[in-house]
């Protein structure tokens, strides 16, 4: 199944451009599901990557998901902050406020999300909820649209118990919860599972029965999205190391639909480890109800590759302020705005491909003008 054409009719509901939370967040997810497309979710580490993502979304007339990991949030705050917990909280908050300030100017809808919080990082999420509670009390929207708890390495009951503890607090603020069932291979800022050649990868595939248990336990408490593992990995690995099986997502949708009577595709599904994935597997996953695909490694490489090529083209500018032979100044080449902008453009180019792969190009539901 091919994602719906950009020429398809727009959904009946449109939203003001900017960060979406609460009912507007749910409306955007529903538009994705109705339209048969998904949004790229890009991990950011600073204003350069944030601005590149917003630029790419605006250029492609697509809504988008901006997210940060705990390490990305800490880097955003600055590695000079000694208190790493405080840096994670303040860095994520700074990123969120930056996006809240600028997203509406780009004319698209943005979901703000935090990625992969395991047991030791729950205080990070709780610190951000403290800040969102203060925002809502002051009559403003919460900082984030959704947060992820990744307790997939723990027994299912312990995973769900902790999710059930925090979800009502999120629901009061209009914040959704993303959970992970099964294990995504590879590692994301210290959270994940090492992937070894020829290992038994059975743990990389989520069972539909577990998805139903999670849905029955959590959906009465608030809005939940599900990162169900179907062989996904973080990073890019040699072909054949893992086998993506997106049909697992279809089986989960069918199982929950049958047991609950909620109709087709009741789940809002998340595709982790989108970098390097085969395009036919991406298309299949979207057709089974994926509304969000994480893409980090490919974007990191695009940024680095663009800057690396620029350095190779102007090597002397990164060794000398003035050419030792001709006395020509190199300031216009080593000015950070020059090479950082090259990196931003490389991100924009890579995301052009992602919007097309996911079928979201031309599908923004933000109001025009």
**Catalytic residue set:** 115
What residues contact residue 367 under an 8 Å CB cut-off, 6+ apart? 14, 15, 16, 17
User: In angstroms, what CA-CA distances link 366 with 27, 34, 96, 363?
Assistant: 11, 16, 19, 9
Would you put residue 329 in left (φ > 0), alpha (ψ -120 to 50) or beta? beta
What residues contact residue 341 under an 8 Å CB cut-off, 6+ apart? none
**Residue 30 near residue 12 (C-beta atoms within 8 A):** no
- Cα-Cα-Cα-Cα torsion 153, 231, 191, 19, nearest 10 degrees, comes to -110
CA atoms within 13 A on the CB side of 287: 12
User: In angstroms, what CA-CA distances link 256 with 10, 47, 265?
Assistant: 28, 40, 8
d(CA 69, CA 318): 31
β-pairing, 109-117 vs 18-19, is parallel
Q: Output b/e per residue, 49-67; b: 16+ Cβ within 10 A.
A: bbbbbbbbbbebbbbbbbb
């Amino acid at each position: 199944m091919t994602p719906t054409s950009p020429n398809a009719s727009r959904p009946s509901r449109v939203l003001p451009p900017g960060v979406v939370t609460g009912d507007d967040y749910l409306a955007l997810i529903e538009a994705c599901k109705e339209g048969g497309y998904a949004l790229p979710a890009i991990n950011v580490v600073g204003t350069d990557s944030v601005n590149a993502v917003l630029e790419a979304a605006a250029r492609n007339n697509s809504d988008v998901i901006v997210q940060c990991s705990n390490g990305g949030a800490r880097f955003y705050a600055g590695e000079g902050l000694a208190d790493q917990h405080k840096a994670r909280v303040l860095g994520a908050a700074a990123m969120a406020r930056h996006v809240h300030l600028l997203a509406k100017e780009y004319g698209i809808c943005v979901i703000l999300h935090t990625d992969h919080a395991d047991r030791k990082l729950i205080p990070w999420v709780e610190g951000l909820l403290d800040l969102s509670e203060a925002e809502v009390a002051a009559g403003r929207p919460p900082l984030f649209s959704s947060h992820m708890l990744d307790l997939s390495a723990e027994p299912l009951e312990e995973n769900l118990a902790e999710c059930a503890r925090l979800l009502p607090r999120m629901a009061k603020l209009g914040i959704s919860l993303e959970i992970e069932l099964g294990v995504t291979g590879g590692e994301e800022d210290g959270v994940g599972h090492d992937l070894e050649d020829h290992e038994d990868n059975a743990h990389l595939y989520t069972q539909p029965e577990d998805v139903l248990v999670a849905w029955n336990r959590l959906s009465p408490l608030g809005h939940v999205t599900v990162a169900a593992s179907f062989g996904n990995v973080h990073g890019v690995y040699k072909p054949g190391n893992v086998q993506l099986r997106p049909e697992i997502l279809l089986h989960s949708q069918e199982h929950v639909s049958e047991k609950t009577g909620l109709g087709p595709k009741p789940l809002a599904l998340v595709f982790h480890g989108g970098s390097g994935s085969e395009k036919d597997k991406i298309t299949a996953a979207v057709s089974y109800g994926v509304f969000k695909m994480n893409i980090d490694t490919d974007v990191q490489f695009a940024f680095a590759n663009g800057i690396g090529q620029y350095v190779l083209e102007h090597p002397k500018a990164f060794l000398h302020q003035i050419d030792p032979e001709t006395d020509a100044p190199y300031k216009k080449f080593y000015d950070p705005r020059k090479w950082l902008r090259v990196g931003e453009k490389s991100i924009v180019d890579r995301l052009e491909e992602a919007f097309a792969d996911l079928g979201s190009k031309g599908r923004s539901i933000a109001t025009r003008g």
